[in-house]
Amino acid sequence: MAFVRDAARAAEQIKKWLQQRLRETGRQEYILGLSGGIDSALAAYMVVDALGADALYCVLLPYRTSSPDSLGDAQHIVKELGVQSRVVDITAMADAFEAQTGEMSPVRRGNLCARLRMVTLFDQSHAKGLVLGTSNKTETLLGYGTLNGDAAWSLNPLGDLYKTDVRLLAKYHHVPQAIQDKIPSADLWHGQTDEGELGHSYAEIDTLLVKMVDEKQSRAQILADGTDPKLVDRVLSLIRGSAFKRQAPPIAWLSQPFDATHVEDPRW
């Protein structure tokens, strides 16, 4: 799809999807890493709209360099929605790991924090919860996520929404304006911003991605519209370089790939 045109219709589709997935798996709730950013905030509002506050358990996962505002915004969402939550500070975990492996660069430490957060979420899910992913379509196409970190989940309600769509649906669900207006950041180190790392605004990138991915325009067509060729090259490089992140880990099959659909069918 391209950009969402009807927020109400898209919200209703995702609402029904969330209801169906929980019902099909027999689980009781969704587990969400609530960062205080717009993506996880939207996921929280969607779940509560679909299933009520009792169906969401939020885990707030600060690190010592995290902005205090992030934790404060996450706690505000928890209070407004009336959901269960707990804070798990991952600083001691990350510091203990780094003490064993040696000093890390900011990027490597950021990846470690992303993975520790996901480990914590799956641990908290136990046997009754499903871990929600909050990576949007823009991030997934660009490979802007950590394997086995924020790019790991049980299911993802935002996966077919560009960042532009996330903003639209956040407005529709009345996510607090301060969170809608916040500069996007993974909050992995002081001063880090998504657009700073990507080198372009989400609006520019999303417009280009729709042309490249959804409309399947050629390079010549895109450049004829006046799009910066450096942006085209940058985005194309990110998409191609991160293709492995969007694929299931390969298996060296010695027989036919397994297919358990006949056993998974409840009529079997």
pLDDT in tens, 227-266: 999 999 999 999 999 999 998 888 888 988 877 776 766 6
- pLDDT at res. 183: 83
Note down pLDDT in tens along the chain; length 268 residues: 679 999 999 999 999 999 999 999 999 999 999 999 999 999 999 999 999 999 999 999 999 999 899 999 999 999 999 999 999 999 999 999 999 999 999 989 999 999 999 999 999 998 789 999 999 999 999 999 999 999 999 999 999 999 999 999 999 999 999 999 998 777 766 677 777 777 788 999 999 999 999 999 999 999 999 999 999 999 999 999 999 999 888 888 898 887 777 676 666 6
Q: Dig out the tokens for 77 from the structure.
A: 């969402």
pLDDT in tens, 166-186: 999 999 999 999 999 998 777
CATH code assigned to 7-191: 3.40.50.620
- pLDDT at res. 267: 66
pTM above 0.85, yes or no: yes
Q: State how far the Cα of 131 lies from the Cα of 153, in Å rounded to an integer.
A: 5
Sheet of 56-60, strand order? 84-87, 56-60, 29-33, 129-131
- pLDDT at res. 184: 79
Which secondary-structure segment (H or E) carries 56? strand 56-60
Q: State how far the Cα of 149 lies from the Cα of 267, in Å rounded to an integer.
A: 36
Report the 10 Å Cβ neighbour count for 150: 25
What is the three-class DSSP state of 152?
Answer: coil
- pLDDT at res. 30: 98
- pLDDT at res. 127: 76
- pLDDT at res. 262: 64
The full DSSP string for 213-268 is IIS---HHHHHHTT--HHHHHHHHHHHHHTGGGGSPPP---SSSPP--HHHHSTT-
